[in-house]
Amino acid sequence: MSRLSVWHVFLEEWRQMVRDRKLLVILLLTPILYSVLFGFLYSHERITEMAVVVYDGDNSQLSRQIIQAFDATDTFAVKGQVWNEEEVTLEVQSGEAKVGIVIPDNFAARLKHGENVPVLTLIDGSNMMYSNSASRIANQVISSVSAGASLQTLEQKGMNSDQASSVLSTIPFRSRVLFNPVYNYKLFMPLGVIAAALQQCLLLGIALSCTRDKEQGTWARFAAWRLTPWRLAIAKLLPYFLAGMFNVVTTFGISCIAFHIPFHGAVLPLIVVSIAFNFALCGLGFVFSLFSKSRLDATQTLMLIAVPSFMLSGYTWPLEAMPAPLRMIGECLPLTYFLEAVRNITLKGLGWTHVWHDVMALGVIGMVGLLLSFLLYPFVFRQHAAEETPSEAGAELPVKG
């Protein structure tokens, strides 16, 4: 027996790596691709055009000046006005607005009489990317308006600064962050990480389901189902779908009971959303499984999808702040809708009326994936069955239709 050489093993491993083009792409090009992707993703540098709803109980020159100042920034975009503070809260809770502004009744007159009447901003804290930026910029807007109003008073009255302060004091400002008032990352990051893990584990299991038969040379036994691919889909996907539902129940149960992550909503909407989420993953995973030649091939493909899927879901950086091409990709990902629905249910306590559109989107993704698989299944079957040797194909009993 010849002595094992380090150099010989090195050259052998090097040749294997160079011959495996997909592995070579993962090792050499994927870091570059992700660097470009994430650089493009955060190219706007900050969040802009956050939807703002306003209750103006004063309707004075000063209150209109405050509203115009908010709308003049590229951070906020005033979408409309409502008739009371409760409506502002509902708009922020439902997600129609990310920020609400409440200007009290008789605001300007009460300030001139020395009352401490603050402008209130209500901020959606379920996504910390919004709340951090909104709190800081809102404070800057109010400070600028306050300084401008004092300067205007000086010019009109010919007063010094002490006299002007008795006529119009600095505008008080108060900010209230809803759903996560202390900016606690425990209420933000765990939900996203849990959902990403649920997605990746289920996709990986499904993608390996058909490739296992291809590697073992038993793919031809599904010839009887060539015209009825839905049978193969049910047989292959149902175990993973049930496992996915079990994972949802256990992971969210553990996060709520053991780690005290709040759950303000009802269980039934979360179950319905989870069913739709797992259905969408089954549709996408089945496509990967059909078109992958081996388990390694499927695993490598999923590795390329996993990281950008989480980043493009709108969880770590809002969809509204992404460039249009990346936003379109994000809107095609199941994780985008699942995370949005989970936040609405667990942190905001919202019910079915606010998550049904997420359920519908997930259902469409799953149906498109399955339909694509069914249409292409005969071609994929013939391609892989032809690669099996007759002895391998006959090693297993054919599946009965």
pLDDT in tens, 285-313: 898 888 888 888 888 777 777 777 888 88
Reported as a single tens digit per residue, the pLDDT across 102-148 is 999 999 888 888 788 899 999 998 877 788 788 888 888 888 887 66
What is the strand order of the sheet 50-56 is part of? 76-81, 50-56, 99-103, 119-124, 173-178
Q: What is the pLDDT of residue 1?
A: 44
Q: Which residue has the higher pLDDT, 116 or 396?
A: 116
The answer, yes or no, to whether residue 182 has pLDDT greater than 70, is no
Q: Are 201 and 247 contacting, i.e. CB atoms less than 8 angstroms apart?
A: yes
The answer, yes or no, to whether residue 389 has pLDDT greater than 60, is no
The separation between CA 150 and the C-alpha centre of its own chain, rounded to angstroms, equals 43
Q: What is the mean pLDDT of residues 234-252?
A: 89
Residue range(s) of every CATH 3.40.1710.10 domain in the chain: 50-178
User: Measured between alpha carbons, how far is residue 146 from residues 66, 159, 165, 166 in Å?
Assistant: 9, 17, 11, 14
User: Measured between alpha carbons, how far is residue 241 from residues 76, 117, 133, 280, 281 in Å?
Assistant: 42, 55, 39, 10, 9
| φ, ψ of residue 231 in degrees (nearest 5) | -65, -45
Q: Which residue has the higher pLDDT, 283 or 260?
A: 283
Segment among 92-101, 152-161, 319-328 with least mean pLDDT: 152-161
The answer, yes or no, to whether residue 154 has pLDDT greater than 50, is no
Which of the following CATH numbers is that of domain 50-178: 3.40.1710.10, 3.40.50.1240, 3.40.190.10, 3.30.70.920? 3.40.1710.10
Q: Which residue has the higher pLDDT, 24 or 327?
A: 327
Q: Are 207 and 193 contacting, i.e. CB atoms less than 8 angstroms apart?
A: no
Strands 119-124 and 173-178: parallel
Reported as a single tens digit per residue, the pLDDT across 7-20 is 776 676 678 767 87
User: Which range has the top average pLDDT, 25-39, 70-84, 135-149, 174-188?
Assistant: 70-84
Q: What is the pLDDT of residue 162?
A: 55
299: region left, alpha or beta (phi > 0 left; psi from -120 to 50 alpha): alpha
Using CA atoms, how far apart are residues 384 and 294, in angstroms rounded to an integer? 11
| Residue 333 banded pLDDT, cuts 50, 70, 90 | very high
Q: Which residue has the higher pLDDT, 106 or 397?
A: 106
Q: What is the pLDDT of residue 157?
A: 52
Is this structure's pTM higher than 0.75?
no
| Residue 35 banded pLDDT, cuts 50, 70, 90 | low
Q: What is the pLDDT of residue 394?
A: 43
